Structure 1
Amino acid sequence: MTWVGPSACTLPTVEQPLRVAEFDALFAGAVQGVAPPGPRN
């Protein structure tokens, strides 16, 4: 599964996998949790 379609990216094709790996590493280290939005009390 990819989160960016090929037509949305302007990087040269050879650089795209490197950028995806950079974002994967960033999110793996920075995201502490994911929760669906809900009503705030």
Structure 2
Amino acid sequence: DTEKYRMELTEVRAQLEPWEKQLIGCKGRLDVASAESKLLKEK
């Protein structure tokens, strides 16, 4: 039973991985954008 659960968990993780990478990428871009706007306001 545990083995079946682990298999399902691995499958779900494999499906979520690309989404996680996209989210992390988007967050990184948002951080850069907000940092840039702060710099522009300071000038």
What's the TM-score bracket when you normalise by the shorter of the two chains? 0.3 to 0.5
Higher RCO (Cα < 8 Å, 6 or more apart): 1
Structure having the higher Rg:
2
Q: TM-score, normalised by structure 1?
A: 0.46
**Bigger proportion of residues as helix:** 2
